[in-house]
Structure formats: C-alpha cells, structure tokens
Structure 1
C-alpha cells in the first residue's frame, strides 16, 4: 500500500466507526439491548485507543502521526458528543470541555511554527537567494514533501507577493536564461482590471447582502472577496517577477503563483509555435492568461498523465530557440561523456 493511501486510513477509520456507532447508539433493537447497552466506552475504545494506534502504524513520521492522532481524537470527541445519548455520558462531558484546550495548544504551536517559517523566508529573501527556494525550504523542513506543504507553499507565496513583492527581484531566481510572459496579450493589465473590479464591487455587494439577506452572510461574502482580492493582487505582481528559466539541463516553468513545473530537456520530443485554441484535457497542461498559448511542448515520457505542455510567453521565437540550443548543448555534452 502506498504511503499516500496509508496516510488516509486513520481518517477513513474514524468515518467508519462514527457511522457504525451512530447507528448503534441511535437504534432501538436487540443490538443495543433496546437502548440499555449504550455504553460510551464502546466508542471511546475505538476513538481514543485504536485510532491513535492506527495513526502511528500508518504514518511514518512520528511528529506527524502524533499531531494527526490528536486532531482526529478531538474530532472523535466532537462526533461522540452528538451520537452518544446524554443519559449514557459519564466521562464524555469532561472530554468535551478538554478538547478546546488541546485544540488551543495545537493552534498555538502552529502559529509559532508559521511565524518561524515566515522569519526564515524573510531572512532568505533579504540575502537575495532564489525566492522560490526561500519560501519552500523552511516549509518542507517543517512539513515534508506532502500536499500540505504544497498548499502552504502556495499560500505563503501568495502573501509574499501580495505584501513583499518589491523585495523579490527576477534576477535572483535560479537559471542561466529567463523568459517573461506578463506582456503577452496584456496578461498583467487584465489582472489589474480584475483587481479594480473586485475592489469596486466588494462594498456594493456587502451593502446589498447586508440589507437584502443578513449581516452575517454579508460579512462572510466580504471576507471571501477580500481573500480573492489579495490573491489577484499577488498574481498581478508575481507574473512580472517569476520568470520561466533554463537551469542547466532543465526547464523551470514558473507562472504567476503556480507551483513550478520542471521539465528535463531530454524529455522534450518537440517544441514549436502554436496558433490553435487548446481545450482542457487531463493530458494537457496550460500556462496562459489570455489569448491562445503560443508555444507547445511535446513530451517523450508523460509527466503523470500530462503529455503536452502549452505556454504563453512574450517572445515565442526567442524562447523556442533558447530551449533548442540548450537541449542541443546538453545532448552534445552527454555524447562526449559517453565516448
């Protein structure tokens, strides 16, 4: 069983026991002696004993296993407060009040960790290191290589470009040659237009929802709109800062706030100009803001399910020539080495 599937087993176990014991406690049959055998320790054994054991068996990293087991046990206590009948609760009331303290402690540790990561990123950017490495390295040191690290990297990248974009210089990114894409079909100008549109629409929508629907709904929508505004501001600033780069024998595709895509040059079967509309497909990856992507890269070996990559760059001819030249130099060097 792969590690990604094993990491989901504890949560699936919690779902299964919650469904089963909810049915058990709420039924009125011989199964629970017509309600007289609704003992809370039945669910407690599964939720507070078996669940952490499964976490440590399925998660290799002990710190991650401990954190996951605590979070899932707090969730189990929350679920138990609803599925266990009130007359059957003896110690569950104490567990219900204690879970808030545990969650507060976890939240405190997470805030400290995030602040530590932020200070590490700020120091690295100040030393003019590669901005992507500055953001990803402390996060990976803390969370590893999993989906949570990728999500936090994206979110950190968003806040970095939203508030500290002036400290990020394109020339600090790794690479021998850099290529831009923010001017193609007015990509950056279009993003700025969306920023103004969202900023103009937000107060009007807030007032409308406040009086037509409810103040609570208006506040929720306004918070989500504010988050999307920060996202578009970060994207607007990132497109002119994060270049597509040739780094040794690899092509690094950085596009706005997207997670970088690395393509080995020896995995490129063909690269040429594109003049046709590209439909969405699981076999295609598109990096383009407006208009039609002007570069197509065909891969020798698919990356996952992706067989072709389409890009929108400012100068397609220059980009294609540079990639072909770098690939040719790499192949020649490889042939000389193999002789």
Structure 2
C-alpha cells in the first residue's frame, strides 16, 4: 500500500468535498432544507479558499503548491458548474469564464517548462554526459526530485529516444561493464514486428471507426494509437542502446525506456541462472520482454530481481567479480 504523506492531504480533502457537496447540491435532505437552501458560497469557501491554503501548508515546494492550487481550483469550478443548481448560481458563471484563463496560463507554463527541459537535455547529450543524467537533471532542477520528476523523466526519455537516439552511445553510460539485452529471444525483432503491425492497421482502423462509429471516435482512437506508436519506437531504439551496467558499488538495471534501478552490490545475496517462467509477485521485479528471464538475483531484503540478458554467464561472472572486489575493499 502507498503510504499517506502530508502532500496527500489536499487531494484527500478535494475528494471529500467533491463527494459531499455533490450529494448536498444534488439531493433533497435536512442538510439543505430539502432543496430550498443550496447557496454556492459553501462550496466556494471549501474549494477556493480552504483547499488552496491546504496546498501551500502541506506542499513545501511553492511552485508545486501553486500548480496544485490552480489545478484543484479549476477542478472545483468545473464540479460546481455541474452540481450547483442554476437557481443558486450568482458568482459561479463568472468563475466558469475565469477557469479557461487559468487553464490557458497553466498550459503556457507547462509548455515553457517542456521546451526548457527539451533544450537542456539536447545540450547535455551533445556534451556526451550519461544520457540518463542528461534527462533527469534538467527536470529535477525545475520540479525537484520525486514522483513527478520520475514520471516526467520517463516521458522525456520516450521523446529523447524517439527523436535523438543517434546521438546516444552506449559508452556514454555510467558503469565499468556493460551488458545488452536486445538480442535475447529476438527481443528487438519482436518489437519491430509490433511497430509494423500498428503502422499497417492504423489507417484501416481509422476508416472503419470513421464510417461505422463516428469521426470523433476515430480521431481519438488514432491519436491514442499514435502515442502508443511513439512509445514502441522509443522502446525499440532504447533496448539496444541503454545497457545493464555494473559499477564498483552498484548494479544499474536499464531496460528499454523505463527508469533505471540502482541496486547496491552489498544488497545482493545470490545470483544464478534461470530458465523457468516467473509469475508476478509483490517481492519480484522482472526485466524481460521475450521468453523467460535467464538471470535470478536475490537480495538480502527478501526481494528478487529477474533479468533477461544476452550473455547471462558473462554477466554473472562480472557481477560476482565486482562483489568480491567490494568485499575486499
């Protein structure tokens, strides 16, 4: 289960007031004098005064707090426009108009941030820095280190490998020994096959949905499919570029475009070959796209990592060698 933190309080409060005030305005009960007393200022105080104050009290990063306050306020105005009876709206019609201005400002801010990150990543790649650091550092400077930066790094990695994969070389990545995974069980060839299937079926699917259902549904479905296609292209390119690396202190697992996992060598209990199918489990992490993973790594924390690599025996020997050096030092 995800642990609740102070940062979660504004969202929890938002959920509670949306449910409660939707019930209050849309039902007839003793709370609203059986539908005769439904003033809009009740939701206005909770949603546009108390909620933004909670954002600034519970979120340390003031930029993140501001973004959340504006986003939540816009959401409250949207909810209010649906649940508050028309006869009770006095200020709300004006707020509905201002909502679009706030959304436009929010989009402008995010687009500016995206372009700033884009050029920072491009400049870092030219300097031949570790590509993962080139992507994550500019983002973390703007939004800080956390869940949001991890999601943005993942998204930035998709576009980086889709557009700039030729500028990224395996030797740029941190690590003493690098191992690939794209040739195992024809992993990259299978990905290319999926890409071709998507490209060939896309126009057929669009035309069928356009004439059988509606042009709107066809456009939405095609747009979502194109986003998925970008993901597959980025994954196809990244799987052969981003290596699984071993440093003097840790194992860095990079697999496709997913965020890297850094495992300290001191946490590795045992490592061995594997040939069996591995089911999903809470204590199991799987890094494998085709066939069964061929390396099993047990950690002293009780977790187990399964990886599919091109040269499993060489990988195990190199990892054990670095473990021995770590023990000696």
Q: Secondary structure of 2:174's match?
A: coil
The whole-number CA distance in structure 2 between the counterparts of 1:312 and 1:19 is 46
How far has the Cα of 1:82 moved from its partner?
A: 1.3
- Counterpart position of 1:336: none
1:27 Cα deviation from its structure 2 partner: 3.1
What's the counterpart of residue 116 of structure 1? Answer: 116
- Counterpart residue number, 2:270: 270
Aligned to 2:300, the other structure's residue is in SS state strand
Q: Deviations over 1:20-49 (max 9, x none)?
A: 222222333443234332211111111111
Aligned to 1:93: 93
Work out the CA distance in 2 between the residues paired with 1:323 and 1:17. Answer: 53
Instruction: Measure, in 2, the Cα distance between the counterparts of 1:125 and 1:60.
Output: 31
1:330 to 318, 326, 329: 326
Deviates more, 1:146-155 or 1:319-328: 146-155
Partner of 1:194: 194
Partner of 1:337: none
Which residue of structure 2 lines up, in the alignment, with residue 312 of structure 1?
308
Q: Match of 1:278, SS? A: coil
Q: Which moved more, 1:62-71 or 1:92-101?
A: 62-71
| CA distance in 2 between partners of 1:296 and 1:324 (Å) | 13
Higher mean C-alpha displacement, 106-115 vs 5-14: 5-14
Q: Deviation digits for residues 204-237 of structure 1, max 9, x if unmatched?
A: 1111111111111111111111111111111110
Distance in 2 (CA, whole Å) between partners of 1:121 and 1:254 is 18
Tell me the equivalent position of 1:224. 224
Q: SS state of the match for residue 256, structure 2?
A: coil
**What is the rounded CA distance, in whole Å, between the counterparts of 2:49 and 2:3 in structure 1?**
22
**How far off is 1:252 after superposition?**
0.3
Residue 36 of structure 1 aligns to a residue in which SS? coil
2:11 corresponds to which residue?
11
Q: Can you give the 5+ residue segments of structure 2 that lack an aligned partner in the other structure?
A: none
Distance, in Å, in 2 between the alignment partners of 1:108 and 1:320 is 49
Q: 2-side partners of 1:39 and 1:171: how far apart? A: 65
2 CA distance for matches of 1:295 and 1:38?
63
* Matching of residues 66-215 of structure 1 within 5 Å: 66-215=66-215
Q: TM-score when scaled to structure 1?
A: 0.93
Please name the residue that 1:282 is paired with: 282
- Write the distance in 2 (CA, Å) between the matches of 1:65 and 1:231: 30
Secondary structure, aligned partner of 1:7: helix
1: CA distance, partners of 2:57 / 2:157: 33
Instruction: Please identify, of 179-188 and 32-41, the stretch whose mean Cα deviation from structure 2 is larger.
Output: 32-41
- RMSD of aligned C-alpha atoms? 1.4
Question: Take 2:313 and 2:279, find their aligned partners in 1: how far apart are those partners?
Answer: 23
Q: How many residues align?
A: 328
Structure 1 range deviating more: 277-286 or 323-332: 277-286
